[in-house]
Structure 1
Amino acid sequence: MSIDLDRLRTDFANIPLDESDREEVLHFLLRERRDGDADLLRHLLAAETAAHHEGWGLSESMVLAALLLAECGREEDVWTLWEAKNASFDTMAGIDGFLLFPAGIAGTTAHVIANENHPERGDLMTYLSEYLEYEKLTDDDIREHIAGLRSHYAQP
């Protein structure tokens, strides 16, 4: 790996990363993500989201960044994941809805409900409710989907 990951983990805001750098870092994090990588993953997903506002399609890096951030299991990351999903028509269609439950169904939903003043609360609650009604998901289903997506990206 040509990027100093240890330095990136502590100083990511000051290290410029282009699209190929982000892809390289995300694939490394797929293999060796640490508990403390959530801030770096938020940063990488924000960069991918910004890039997807400007273009067409859905990159592997965007989905991988969303997957890895969702795996961190923090309820507050639902907002970053929702923003990524809403970056474009392609991201809305291509980023799986189960990634919007980083802290499970109850934990994530409770967090969204509690954030009454968040400008995206209403739209996100509507989406989550409709998604759960349509998919009939459980936390076990979400973990299984995440494991399947991880397995897909982990293949050589």
Structure 2
Amino acid sequence: MSIDLDQLRTDFTNTPLDEADREEALHLLLGQRRDGDADLLRHLLAEETAAHREGWGLSETMVLAALLLAECGREEDVWTLWEAKNASFDTMAGLDGFLLFPAGIAGTTAHVIASEQHPERAELMTYMSEYLEYEKLTDEDIRSHIAGLRSHYVS
């Protein structure tokens, strides 16, 4: 299937996509991502997450989906990214923790703290705290890591 990105943007929930289709769509979005693509990227990452729950390993497609969603910079996407990281042992180990700060450290952390009713709140807060303590990251470090990961896919 050759992906029509404009059509996919308007009808992604009704468009069946296999692994190869998702990979093609994500590579197109790598070069043509728009501000309004967050819903599509959230959907693609959810599809990758579901596929990774059933298998083993970590595909580059999963990492690319997480990267592109994190680049959108929306604090609420931390939950979709956390779900992806928790899909399996391999995704927990392979998806970088810096992707869990899509709105920067302060913005994302404040969102998680404010999400008192979210069932994963305590686990995510613990992970974020331990990750930041270990890595000693700043927002600039996170931006640099994201840029480095992006350059891996662009080259």
Would you say same fold, with TM above 0.5?
Answer: yes
Aligned residues: 155
Partner of 1:66: 66
- The alpha carbon displacement at 1:20 in A equals 0.1
TM-score by length of 2: 0.99
Gaps of 5+ in 1: none
Partner of 1:19: 19
- The alpha carbon displacement at 1:2 in A equals 1.2
Partner of 2:91: 91
C-alpha RMSD of the superposition: 0.7
Partner of 1:38: 38
State the alpha-carbon separation in 2 of the partners of residues 3 and 78 from structure 1. 27
Q: What is the letter of the counterpart of residue 125 of structure 1?
A: M
Q: What is the letter of the counterpart of residue 101 of structure 1?
A: F
Partner of 2:149: 149
Partner of 1:117: 117
Q: Does 1:52 align with 2:52?
A: yes
- The alpha carbon displacement at 1:80 in A equals 0.1
Q: Give CA deviations for 1:121-154 in whole Å, capped at 9, x if unaligned.
A: 0000000000000000000000000000000011
- The alpha carbon displacement at 1:83 in A equals 0.1
State the alpha-carbon separation in 2 of the partners of residues 150 and 3 from structure 1. 21
Aligned sequence identity (%)? 86
State the alpha-carbon separation in 2 of the partners of residues 152 and 46 from structure 1. 22
State the alpha-carbon separation in 1 of the partners of residues 8 and 93 from structure 2. 31
After TM superposition, which residue ranges in structure 1, 4 or more long, deviate above 4 angstroms? none
- Larger mean CA deviation between 59-68 and 2-11 belongs to 2-11
- The alpha carbon displacement at 1:4 in A equals 1.2
State the alpha-carbon separation in 1 of the partners of residues 124 and 3 from structure 2. 36
3-state SS of paired residue (2:116): coil
- The alpha carbon displacement at 1:78 in A equals 0.1
State the alpha-carbon separation in 1 of the partners of residues 95 and 111 from structure 2. 21
Q: Give CA deviations for 1:45-84 in whole Å, capped at 9, x if unaligned.
A: 0000000000010000000000000000000000000000
